[in-house]
């Protein structure tokens, strides 16, 4: 069986929700939900939490994940993107242990309602498509881009964003709008070569894994948190 590494990024600082990754929903912290999803997966063979925070590291180990090293503080700042964090993880594992996974799964703690079956299906999808660089979970958009405008900075007039696709995209009937999808931040599955050699989290050849938008939650604000708490409590009844 292939080696599938789950990486759960969980830094200690957060502005929108203080100590967000340790906030409890339905008796489990946000980071704990993602660790459980990884533990219940049939495809994931190793689980690592990337954090600079000692408290999160200790909690992650108690819940069954590994924290073989702490993330450097310069990779735990607000502006740091995913790529340098994942490059750090893969480089340290290769240097310290000679460990090089076949596949990397990115599980954000902000998606506590993630279905375990989705994780395994995304891994299977990438492994079955050898020319793809990655898989990203997506959902159909609610507000369709064909009906989105910007206000032109010079004229002050409405300027349709998708005018290159259709002369008057905002006048199309709903049933005539082409299907479009947004990245929902629930699951990424990537090849290590995409990260280390292409210097990208996705590469150019990205496979979609489509999820029902009604089942997708990405916690960013206190309002998102309360809504997810409500949904988890309903699910538990």
- If you average pLDDT over residues 195-214, what whole number do you get? 97
Query: Domain check: are 52 and 151 in the same one?
Result: no
Helix (H, G, I), strand (E, B), or coil: what is residue 139? strand
Query: Domain check: are 20 and 81 in the same one?
Result: yes
CATH number at residue 229: 3.90.550.10
Query: Domain check: are 75 and 149 in the same one?
Result: no
Residue 4 main-chain phi, psi, to 5 deg? -120, 115
Query: What is the DSSP track for 156-202?
Result: --EEETTTTT-SSGGGS-GGGSPP-EEEEEEEEEE-HHHHHTS-SSS
Say if residues 31 and 109 touch (Cβ distance below 8 Å). yes
Query: Domain check: are 195 and 128 in the same one?
Result: yes
Number of domains in the chain: 2
CB atoms within 10 A of CB 16: 12
pLDDT at 3 over 90: yes
Q: What is the pLDDT of residues 62-97, one digit of tens each?
A: 999 999 999 999 999 989 999 999 999 999 999 999
Please tell me the distance from the alpha carbon of residue 104 to that of residue 86, in angstroms, as a whole number: 9
Query: Domain check: are 189 and 84 in the same one?
Result: yes
Task: Give the residue ranges of DSSP H helices in 71-171.
Answer: 82-97, 116-128
Query: Domain check: are 166 and 200 in the same one?
Result: no
Q: Provide the whole-model pTM.
A: 0.92
State the residue range of the domain holding 156: 145-175
Say if residues 86 and 195 touch (Cβ distance below 8 Å). yes
């Amino acid at each position: 069986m292939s080696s599938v590494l789950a990486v759960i990024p969980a830094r200690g600082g957060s502005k929108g929700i203080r100590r967000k990754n340790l906030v409890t929903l339905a008796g489990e912290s946000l980071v704990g939900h993602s660790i459980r999803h990884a533990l219940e997966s049939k495809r994931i063979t190793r689980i690592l939490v990337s954090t600079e925070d000692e408290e999160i590291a200790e909690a992650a180990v108690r819940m069954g994940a590994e924290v073989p090293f702490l993330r450097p503080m310069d990779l735990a700042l607000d502006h740091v993107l995913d790529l340098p964090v994942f490059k750090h993880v893969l480089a340290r594992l290769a240097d310290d242990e000679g460990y090089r996974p076949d596949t990397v799964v990115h599980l954000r703690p902000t998606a506590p309602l993630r279905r375990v079956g989705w994780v395994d299906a995304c891994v299977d999808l990438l492994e079955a498509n050898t020319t793809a660089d990655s898989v990203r979970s997506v959902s159909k958009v609610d507000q369709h881009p064909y009906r989105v405008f910007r206000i032109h900075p010079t004229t002050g007039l409405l300027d349709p964003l998708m005018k290159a696709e259709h002369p008057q995209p905002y006048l199309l009937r709903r049933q005539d709008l082409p299907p479009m999808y947004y990245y929902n931040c629930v699951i990424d599955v990537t090849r290590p070569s995409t990260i280390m050699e292409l210097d990208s989290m996705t590469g150019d050849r990205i496979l979609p894994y489509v999820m029902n938008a009604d089942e997708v939650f990405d916690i960013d604000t206190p309002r998102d948190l309360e809504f997810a708490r409500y949904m988890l409590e309903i699910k538990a009844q």
